[in-house]
């Protein structure tokens, strides 16, 4: 059985607060996305933000893949929670296992491989990354094989890649972030694939993130008062619970690339099929 390590980048004490808004763990989101495409894969959690060790007798090279999910941390803040994750990512690459990253995971891998990350001067992107355009390299890459030339995806980020690591290909971009998806194949044989957006997110997750950040979103000009933001969150939560709500789909312009769970998570499925499974079999 294939074994994927899901390396949590959010400190456990922060996760408790986020759970109060209905945010599930990153592990549960990633495990659900993985098993949607490959039901027989075993997913193993590990909180690398808190420095949890691998289980006794297990090494990174024993794994079939490592996944780095999102996190509210900033990679340019040199706190122990951040630096230990950079060290862990470098160890994963040194072990030669395929690595996936969403959002923070993309930024973590970028820095671990020699690139840099900054606060996005165009501001926050939430809850939908609109009009993501597949690049020429992306059209030829299996990661985006099932995506149309332009698509929307769920997202939540303040930071973006500033400089790419060596041996990178930019696979997708939009007006908010010039780097929305990349692939890296290093001369040492390690591979990384990742997106700035969140294929693993659901509308319920977006609702929780919107509600949790209502005051910040007002300060950033996304609304005039928190109650407006909370009402949007309630609509997203309602649509997540009842995906046939045509009125809400129309009101927020939510494409079928987001509404369909298989299409929404297609990058993760493509990564498993083309980077993880062939390495074992």
- The residues that are catalytic are 103, 198, 200
Please give the Cα distance from 113 to 52 (Å, whole number).
Answer: 22
Q: 167's torsion region: left (phi>0), alpha (psi -120 to 50) or beta?
A: left
Among candidate residues 46, 10, 23, 20, the one with its CA nearest the CA of residue 200? 23
- Tell me if 63 sits within 8 A of 97, measured CB to CB: yes
The Cα-based distances of 262 to 32, 38, 203, 270 in angstroms read 11, 11, 14, 11
Q: Under 8 Å CB-to-CB from 2, ≥6 apart: which residues?
A: 38, 40, 41, 42, 64, 65, 276, 277, 280
- Angle between helix 80-95 and 104-112 (nearest 10): 70
C-beta contacts of 48-55 below 8 A and 24+ residues apart:
48/7, 48/8, 48/9, 48/84, 48/85, 48/88, 49/8, 49/9, 49/10, 49/11, 49/12, 49/73, 49/81, 49/84, 49/85, 50/11, 50/12, 50/81, 51/80, 51/84
């Amino acid at each position: 059985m294939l074994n994927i390590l899901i390396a949590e980048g959010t400190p456990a004490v922060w996760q408790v607060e986020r759970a109060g808004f209905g945010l599930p763990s990153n592990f549960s989101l990633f495990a659900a996305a993985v098993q949607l495409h490959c039901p027989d894969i075993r997913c193993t959690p590990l909180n690398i933000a808190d420095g949890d060790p691998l289980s006794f007798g297990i090494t990174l090279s024993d794994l079939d893949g490592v996944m780095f999910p999102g996190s509210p941390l900033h990679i340019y803040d040199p706190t122990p929670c951040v630096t230990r994750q950079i060290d862990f990512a470098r160890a994963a690459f040194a072990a030669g296992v395929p690595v996936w990253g969403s959002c923070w995971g993309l930024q973590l891998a970028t820095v671990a491989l020699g690139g840099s990350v900054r606060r996005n001067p165009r501001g926050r992107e939430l809850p939908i990354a609109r009009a993501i355009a597949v690049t020429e390299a992306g059209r030829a890459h299996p990661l985006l094989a099932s995506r149309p030339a332009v698509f929307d995806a769920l997202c939540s980020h303040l930071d973006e890649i500033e400089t790419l690591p060596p041996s990178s290909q930019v696979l997708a971009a939009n007006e908010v972030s010039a780097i929305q998806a990349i692939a890296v194949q290093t001369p040492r044989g390690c591979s990384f694939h990742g997106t700035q957006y969140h294929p693993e997110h659901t509308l319920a997750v977006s609702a929780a993130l919107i509600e949790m950040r209502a005051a910040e979103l007002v300060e950033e000009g996304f609304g005039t008062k928190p109650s407006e933001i909370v009402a949007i969150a309630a609509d997203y939560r309602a649509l997540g619970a009842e995906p046939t709500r045509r009125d809400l789909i129309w009101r927020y312009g939510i494409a079928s690339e987001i509404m369909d769970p298989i299409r929404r998570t297609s990058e993760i499925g493509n990564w498993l099929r083309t980077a993880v499974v062939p390495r074992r079999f």
